[in-house]
Copies of this chain bind each other. A is one copy, B any other.
Amino acid sequence: MQKDPALYTKKIRSFYHKSRRMPSFAELADLFGFQSKNASAKLVKKLVETRILKQNNRGFLIPGPLLRGLKLLGTVEAGFPTPAEEELVDTLTLDDYLISRPDSTFLIKVSGESMIDAGIMPGDLVLMERGREPRTGDIVIAQVDQGWTMKYYEKQGCAIRLISGNKKYPPIIPKEELRVAGVVVSVVRKYV
């Protein structure tokens, strides 16, 4: 009979998280109490079939989609299913999903309520991508006076306006040049 692969998954994930690399076959044997690397090899063969692990061209272990990502269940309010078949579940890594150009992406913490109507609350983390050309409707980080603000970017012809995401605040029409630090590509909020 097949043993439950969830237990193996958990231990391997824990190893991967702690040492930031996949275990070798010897380390796998150590993890599960095997005396022989061959026991690891047979286990790996199964886990590869269940998409938990992968192996590269030299046999080294690579985390599979089910090990790296989170399970995407469905849609709330439409009623979401809980697929019994683990293989049918779509998986997603937040880093892969949100970050396309890691070298020019930066994190900024939000304070103030100037974008609260856009669903960006104080305390949120914002991912800003530097070097991207802002388009109308984008949320940008721009230099105004001494500090930096986050506003909607709007361009009509040559006229550029910065519009707040809070009805209480008036739009800003920059007098001379406008320094845009970057475009907001995503927002992240952590409860608890």
Which A residues lie at the B interface, using CB under 8 A?
6, 9-10, 13, 17, 19-22, 56, 60, 62-63, 68, 70-80, 92-95, 97-99, 102-103, 105-112, 114, 116, 119-121, 124-128, 138-139, 141, 146-150, 183-192
Contact = CB atoms under 8 A, between A and B. Distances in A.
Nearest to A54: B20
Contact of A62 (B6, B20, B73, B74): B20
A85 to B, nearest CB: 15
Contacts of A109: 72, 74-76
B138 A76 contact: no
A71 B191 CA distance: 21
A111 B75 contact: yes
Which 3 A-B residue pairings sit nearest by Cβ, starting from the closest? A79-B147, A77-B112, A119-B119
B19 A62 contact: yes
A22 B105 CA distance: 21
Given A94-B94, A107-B70, A77 B190 contact: no
B110 A75 contact: yes
A186 B184 contact: no
Given A95-B94, A98-B190, A188-B98, A103 B148 contact: no
A110 B189 CA distance: 15
Given A94-B94, A139-B191, A9 B103 contact: yes
Given A73-B128, A138-B191, A186-B188, 5 more contacts: A73-B107, A77-B114, A77-B148, A98-B188, A186-B189
A105 B190 CA distance: 13
Contacts of A187: 187-189, 191
A4 to B, nearest CB: 13
Given A13-B102, A60-B21, A94-B99, A76 B141 contact: yes
